[in-house]
Every structure is written in structure tokens, then in C-alpha cells.
A and B are shown apart, each in its own frame.
Chain A
């Protein structure tokens, strides 16, 4: 059984079909890149997989369980326990320092553990900047912090929406290396990207256009 299965998933905003009958099966431990032009529904898809939005049609199965009708608290619980999120705009809390930003994720998940949060920062190379506010960090450092926060609760699924969209080449490489580490740890990684270079790291590439799935291929020249 696939870890995650989308079966004819649609998401309609008023009269706009952001997703239109998309069906994908994601195996545990897979690394998938989602590509497609702007407005093709990539973020909409991520929202649904990340349990932050619900489809207006079709089914989403997580471990065989249909979560497309699950709402409110239960959906929050699934998101909290199984999903790690990385964003293009980082979304760090401005009035908390790096360490505290990681601990926020612990706080909503279960217990806060400063040592563990510190270890996560160390892993992304930010141990020395633990007490800095996000505004005192560079873009690359902010994204690494975002990754440390996504890692902290050992989520099974990592969702990254344009994680390198705001980064330069060398920072992009650091972030991709961190994603590789997570993947090697056995996590399922789904990355939305415009960049073919970033997509090359994935084992499988999915392409959306106007909310429809137009391509789903194995990546033969994968970069390790």
C-alpha cells in the first residue's frame, strides 16, 4: 500500500479549478519533485497533502485512511504528527530567536526540549547563531533554520514549496544536501520547484498544468 494516495483530487475556488482530477500514489521514502508553470496548482496540491486544505472532490488516502473528509482538530493532529513544512518565504517568527523558532514546532507537537532543538540547529550549521533573531540571519541561514524546524519532530513527510526560490547557488546546494540527508533518513520528500536543477535531485518528477497532471516520470539522471 502506498503511503499517500491521491485519487481524482480536485480543488475548486469559486469557478476556478486549481486542481482538476489529479491522481498520484506516493511510496514511503520516495523523493518527488512537482513542477509546472505559475498558477498550475502546485501550492494547492501541497496544501492538501499537508492537511492545511481539503479537496472539493476526490479522495486523499494516508496509510489507506481517507483524510479528505477529516476536519478541524483531527486534521491538525495529522499535520502536527506527520508533516514537516519548508517554505519559500521561510515564515519564521520575527520576535523569537533561532532556537526558539525551532522550539515552537516542538511546543505544538509535544514537549519542548532545548537540547534537541540545539542539536537540530547544529545539524544545519546554525549552532553559533542560535540566539539570533531571524532578521539577523541571511536568507540561506533563514532557510536552514526553517529546515531545522521542519526536522525537529521527525515527520514522515517533508513538504517543501520552492525551498530554494529565494536562495543563491551555494545556499541552494546546502539546502539540497540537507534534503538528501533527510531522504537518506527514510523520509518521504515532496519538493515544489521551478528549477530543473532542483528537480534533478528527485527520483520522480510530476508536472502540473492548469490543475491537471500532464507528466509523471522516473528521473533517470538523478543527482545524488
Chain B
């Protein structure tokens, strides 16, 4: 066995054969690393999940203007970052009358609308054909209409069209007062409601670009949503930092205490090593290697536990699993090694200072 191999053999034997003694320290490192890794994964995943969650609160960029064909729509689709675009629903507003009562008939692209506004509560079905309509709940109760009934709408030009009511929509918002039908191809439209996973700055950049397409377009950012998203995510990141620091500090205290006890317990052994010719540096190197090994082991265990934790939390909050993040895993193991080594500096100094004469003192 080479000298360096013997060194590692000694360190490994100490860790393996004294594992019961090291369990506390290992547990401390493991728990710290689990918190660190779990939180890192969550803080990486949560904004994405939260973004999706927030996106279910409706469109956050509304482009209004007189758009005759799909040219502008296609350009907007092209401008929006690909993976950020949740949906873009075109709409055309047509003043109409229902039983002599003025109503706004909204021709909408239902496939996209379901993406931008998944929170809509529809009793019945979305219109499948051009002769079907979705009726706002307030109107339905005012006129005593229900799914399956028929109703006639009178257009601004006096033309009459009969529709079957496929469903009743309830949102608690202005949609309750509207009537929805399918948007005809090439009929033009005046609103595009976009839902984008972008922060405020990203939305503003996109709005500027859209304005640049055609000065008559007026893109409007739903600020209330965008800024509350930013606030929640900002707080979340802050929380992650605080908890990580606390976890690291607790790990350090606990590892330091365990190692202090270990040094006290091994005074005789350290004294013997010194009596056999070990220098303070030898003793330090051995203890540091042991600390590094402890950090490595605890870190690896912690990553495993942290992954399980993050997955569980993500599952129960967002009903989506959290993926393994190899970069975070590596960083966590490195951090665990580092924290353990730092925590061991004081105990190791003490170990190096043990007097070899202890071995001849009858204790």
C-alpha cells in the first residue's frame, strides 16, 4: 500500500468503523444539505410553476386596435418569446340586442381563450359550431335562459341570427354580461388578449415592439397582475436565502459541536499519533480529510432527501413533480463539504494542539 493510499485507508477506517459516533454530524450535514438542495430546486421550479399559476388569472397583455386580417396577429406571435407565450386570443366586439336589450356580442377564438383564461367556469359546453353561443351568467338569469335554449340576436344593421346556447359562463367579472360566439376566419378583430410568462420588464419590452409594428395599436399591460407576480417571487427568493443561511449556520454549529466532542474523545489517539511522530499538520490533514468525507457523504444523502422533499412539496402544492437539478446537486455537495470543513477548523486546531505527553500520563 502506498503512503497516500494508507492515509485514505486510515481516514476511511475512522469514518466507517466509528460511524455510530459520527452519525450526529452526518445527520446535521445531511439535513442542512437537504434543506439547501430542496429549497434551491423549489426556488428554481416555483417561479415557473407560479408563473403558470398566475397565468391562469387571465391575460396580462391586451392589444387593442382595428385589425383587418391576421398579419398583425402573426407578427405578435412571432415577437413573443416562444416558451413564454401561454395563449393569444383574438376577439371582435359587435354591439347587438338580445330581446330589445343592448348586449355586446364577442366573437372569440375559443381554443386560445381557454388557454388565456382557464379560470372561466362554464356550465355546459364551449360553442362547437357557428350557430352556438356562450351566454354570460347575469344575462342568463336576467332573461331566464339556460343551456340548450335558443335565443335570437339582432345586429347593429338589423340582421337577425338565432343561436343555441351551448353553455353559461361565470367569471365574477365583466364576462358575466357578455355573449360569446365563435370568431369567423378572416373577419378581422379588435382585441388580442395575450397571456405571457414574462415579468413586467419583459412585458414592457414586448409592448414597445408591438407599438413599433403599427402606431395605431395600443398594447396595454395588466399591471396589477404583473407587479404582484414580481412581488411574490421576490419574497419567495428572499425567503429561500434566509432559510438557506439559517440551515448552513445550524449545520455548522452542530457539526462543530460533534467534532469538538470527537476531538475530546480522541485526545489519547491524537497524542499517540504525535508520539509516533505526527506533526500538528499531519493531525490537521487527517481531521480535515475526515471532515471533507463527512461533508461529501452528508451532502450526497442530503441531496437525495432534498430531492424527495422538493418533489413532495411541489406535488402537494402544484400537483407537478420537481425535476432533478444536477448543477444544484453538485453545488449542494460542494457547499456541504465547505461548511463541514469550516465548522471543523476550530476543533481541528484543538486536535493539532494536543500534547503527545498525554499518552504517558496514567489517566
Contacts and interface: CB of A to CB of B under 8 A. Distances in A.
Interface of A: 43, 46-47, 50, 52-53, 73, 76-77, 79-81, 85, 87-89, 91, 93-96, 100, 103-105, 107-109, 111-112, 114, 133, 149, 161
A30 to B, nearest CB: 21
Contact of B360 (A43, A114, A133): A43
Contacts of B7: 107
11 contacts: A43-B360, A43-B361, A76-B277, A76-B279, A88-B362, A91-B269, A95-B13, A96-B10, A108-B277, A112-B3, A114-B1
Nearest to B4: A112
A107 B360 contact: no
Contact of A112 (B6, B273, B360): B6
B3 A111 contact: yes
Q: How large is the interface on B (under 10, 10 to 19, 20 to 34, 35 or more residues)?
A: 20 to 34
Interface of B: 1-3, 6-7, 9-10, 13-14, 16-18, 268-269, 271-279, 282, 355-357, 359-362
A94 to B, nearest CB: 8
B29 to A, nearest CB: 20
A105 B277 contact: yes
Chain B interface, DSSP helix/strand/loop, else mixed: helix
Nearest to A80: B277
Contacts of A161: 360
Which 10 pairs, one residue from A and one from B, show the smallest C-beta to C-beta distance? Answer: A80-B277, A95-B17, A108-B277, A52-B356, A91-B272, A112-B6, A52-B357, A47-B357, A43-B360, A53-B357
B18 A91 contact: no
Given A108-B277, A109-B277, A52 B360 contact: yes
A50 B3 contact: no
Nearest to B356: A52
A93 B272 contact: yes
